[in-house]
Amino acid sequence: MKLPRELKTYCPNCQKHTIHNLERMKKRKASEQKWGQRRFRRVTAGYGGFPRPKPEGREKPTRRVALVQRCKECKKSHQSPAKRAKKFEFKE
């Protein structure tokens, strides 16, 4: 999927259509306080080896691409729902 870096779309803050800059959202570091991570740390601690088998099969054919749209007028950003794409790049 190819998208332009700038896109004219609706800004909920300005309440009109303005030009937005598109950025791809990066995955942030997972929090150690989340319940799933605490459970994972508890289960994998100590003796006994790694408790989970490696996932079988193949990778999914597409990945979710999260995009952040930043308005050029008010400088506020908002997110659109993630789209699935096998390959993603910005058009120059």
Place 59 in a pLDDT band, splitting at 50, 70 and 90. Answer: confident
> pLDDT-derived band of residue 57, with 50, 70 and 90 as boundaries?
confident
pLDDT tens-digit map of 10-56: 999 999 999 999 999 988 898 999 999 999 888 888 887 677 777 78
- The pTM of the whole model exceeds 0.85: no
For the purposes of burial, counting CB atoms within 10 Å of the CB of 11, is it exposed (0-12), middle (13-18) or buried (19 or more)? Answer: buried
Whether 15 contacts 73, CB under 8 Å: no
> Which of 89, 65, 90, 69 is closest to 79 using CA atoms?
69
Residue 67 pLDDT more than 90?
A: yes
Name all domains of the chain by residue range, CATH numbers in brackets. 1-26+61-92 (3.10.450.80)
